[in-house]
Amino acid sequence: MATRSADDKDRPSAGATGQQLIDRWRAGAVEHAYWSFGTDQLVQQLETSTSGLLSVDAATRLAKFGRNALTQRSSGSAFAVFVRQFRSPLVLILVFAAVVSVFVGEGHEAAIIGAIVLASCVLSFTQEYGASRAMEVLQQRISRKTTVLRDGFERSVDVETIVPGDVVCLSAGNLIPVDGVILESRDFNVSESVLTGETFPVVKSAGQSAPDAGIAQRTNAVFTGTSVRSGTAKVLAVATGTQTEFASIAEALKRRIPETEFARGIRMFGYLMTEIMLVIVVLVFFANVTLERPLIESLLFSLALAVGLTPELLPAIISVTLARGARTMAASGVIVRRLDAIENLGSMDLLCTDKTGTLTEGVIHLDGSFDVEGNPSNEVLLWARLNATLQTGLKNPLDEAITTAQPGQEDLSHFTKIDEIPYDFVRKRLSVAVRDEAREQTLITKGAIQNVLDACSFVQGPHGLKSLDLSEREAVDEKFRRWSAQGYRVLGLAIRRFRNKAGFSRDDETEMAFAGFLLFLDPPKEGVRETLSALVDRGIGVKVISGDNRYVAAHLADAVGLRSDRIMTGEDLSKLTKNGLLAGVRKTDLFVEIDPNQKERIVEALRRSGHVVGYLGDGINDAPALHEADIGISVDTAVDVAREAADIILLKRDLGVLVKGVDDGRRTFANTMKYISITTSANFGNMISMAAASLYLPFLPLLAKQILLNNFLADIPALAIASDNVDPDQLRRPRHWDIHFVRRFMISFGLVSSLFDFLTFAFLLYVVHAGASTFQTGWFVESLLTQLLILLVIRTRKTFWTSRPSRLLAALALTVGGIAIAIPYTPVANWLAMVPLPLPVLLGLLAITATYVLVSELTKHWLFDRGNGSRRGRENPHRDRATSKSVRLAG
């Protein structure tokens, strides 16, 4: 381990740190108005130093303070998940019914009900626990890192392991992980909109603020959840986790997050099923009591109807389907940060993206350095390399391209860095001041052509300086347009000489001499034309939103097969009203020379025009648009603020990976809707039939234990829906939740199911002349077989025998079907009050079941053909936001 530096001499050892520090914290010595303290006083109270903690001290504090997270990690133990299964109201009702049965002397009835309840809970537990463990593994793959000073050196650590007393190193793009005070900074600007609502970044620097200063007035402090827009800083961590300002308002912020379209649909579906269930249960119970049926038997029958009607495995089915979808997407290189984002990804019909790395290779290389006259220049390359190598702010591919171009050709050892003026998105320039062996100081500035020219009054030509007049500007602009039209990204470079200047600031970026051009090439990605075509085939349009100039963007669009004639520049956009932009975005494919706030305006306008918008970005200036989009998409190498704003993380910046993710999202949504459609249509019809039959027959059509067993067996194949095959035609267009269609689906198939139930009743009563036990056994078999077969019918929009289910689904359906037929002939039949069925009766029931399948197939085609047209006409272009982008909880 490293030896202690001079700054460490007053730092206590690990053993002296623990309880004393925690006691001081609890006493409020550090927590209260820490922003008003001097740096030395605060360092002393936190028992740390400006060079950070030792690793052993940090480990001790982590054990005392806990992890730096808004909510501490739950154990998520298997036992806790298992116990949670018994909190369901339906399960509690059945447990109550079993207890009542024991008290009235129906011990074997209670045993059967208890066994079925336990089996259902175990089934649900295995699915939910497996899904939660899978999601934990996926989340660990995208855990956030930050840089701190430990043992006197900069180290990358997990954000959750930061403790009070750590010194955190921040730069542009970082999401701030702690509340703390600034020890030192350089052009440090922080966006605090998540806490204060202020749109523009605020300048932060070391110092002291008044004890009663509000968050917005604490100019020497930074806070969890805010983000660095520009510059660098070292921050002393004072508060972490639940002690932060963000944690104190996080719960209120979360309460304001609107639910997703999918979650809202599930909630409305739950209301629908509850209303139907209550009406049926109450009516059936009182009707049976009125007919002088046994009270306990009538109660159990009514409660069993409630359970039979309710898709009690729906939460488990949704969890396992989404978790499996997330695992599948992860295998394809797409990490899901929020499970409900899977449905949003499948619903996306418009993708907005930058061009670098998605439409292009993303491996930018420096193609040339030229002087103001357009001639190759090694001097310009030297200045560019000094600027790119010595800057310590935001890392970017352009600087990497400069530093790796023709390595070793230029000797930089004769230069010493004096100062730096970091890049920001207003100036769009980066400056570095250096001193050579002759003690001459040079300020080297590079950036966007127009922004560099704005800082220039001269031109550095082959024969010395001359004034930057209109003709010189036009010459520079002509070269810029010509190179840009050839697909090059062009930066400008300028210099200014100084003598014995102590420090540099933005004010020194004046009266500079324009020295030359840097040309970068990022060719179109191989296969991107085919990928864009695949997105179009799936009903997803693509629009490019870029800060690059119109010439480069148009050249690339032509190369990859996008329209290049429908362009809107940032200048054009700034002149449009809200309604004007709404009309303009519909007929624009390329948005160029766009600033960060304009990206957000574009996405907002596209959403208002009726699109479900995905936005792909990885930079600081992409965060507002990622928040605004229905589905924010970033990459694993993105800056912190972009990753935290995103719903989906691509492990590889490739639209081909995104295409697979869209397919997986649509496949997950399709399989979730399969279960809802299957269980509601079959259960609704069966329960209506059973309720009606109970009023007509002199005995109950099915006993409570038979209903529960029927429902349990029917749910087993449904668990395999998560892995079911999905027809290609269901992946070709965006999918949306439609509660109206679900209701119509349930009623249509429920009526068909009830029709054949009544046909079964007639067959058993008037053809077979069945008694109570034979009738109950026959209908148990027929009801279970129809539920299994309707699963195979409804799972596809094609004719069911032309669409192959997954092997697991088919195997489970066949196995349960065999069990249904075999139960009456087994020893357990007596326990279930069943009797063996004569062969003619069994064959008659199979014939009714086969006819039911054919009629259901015809009903399916009629319903889908009719539903497609009505659903298209009813879609609301002003749907509520699919996701909340107002808040991302940090840490």
Whole-angstrom distance, CA of residue 748 vs CA of residue 807: 29
Residues forming beta bridges with residue 592, ordered by sequence position: 569
Distance CA 542, CA 350 (A): 6
Residue 131 Ramachandran class (φ > 0 left, ψ -120 to 50 alpha, else beta): alpha
Name the pairing type of β-strands 489-498 and 441-448. antiparallel
Q: Is the dihedral of CA 461, 464, 470, 473 positive or negative?
A: positive
Please give the sequence-ordered ranges of beta strands (E in DSSP) within 589-738, or none if there are none. 590-592, 613-616, 631-635, 648-650
Which SS3 state, helix, strand or coil, does residue 783 take?
helix
Backbone angles phi, psi at 148, to 5 degrees: -130, 165
Nearest to 136 by CA among 204, 221, 73: 73
Please enumerate in sequence order all residues whose Cβ is within 8 A of that of 325, keeping only pairs 6 or more positions apart, or say none.
Answer: 336, 342, 664, 665, 667, 668
262: its two tokens? 């999918």
- Which of 57, 354, 589, 663 is flagged as catalytic? 354
User: Is 187 an annotated catalytic residue?
Assistant: no
Distance CA 528, CA 515 (A): 36
Give the single-character DSSP code of 349: -
Residue whose C-alpha is closest to residue 516's, from 342, 704, 699, 376: 376
Q: Which of 379, 871, 470 is nearest to 673 (CA)?
A: 871
Partners of residue 492 on adjacent β-strands: 447, 517
The answer to whether 51 and 149 are in contact (CB under 8 A) is: yes
Q: Where are the beta strands (DSSP E) in 62-178?
A: 145-150, 153-158, 167-171
State whether residue 567 is helix, strand or coil. strand
CB 162 within 8 A of CB 68: yes
Instruction: Return the SS3 of 512.
Output: strand
What letter would DSSP give residue 259? P
Q: What is the CA radius of gyration of the chain?
A: 34
Is residue 393 exposed (0-12), middle (13-18) or buried (19+ Cβ within 10 Å)? buried
Q: Which residues are tagged catalytic? A: 354
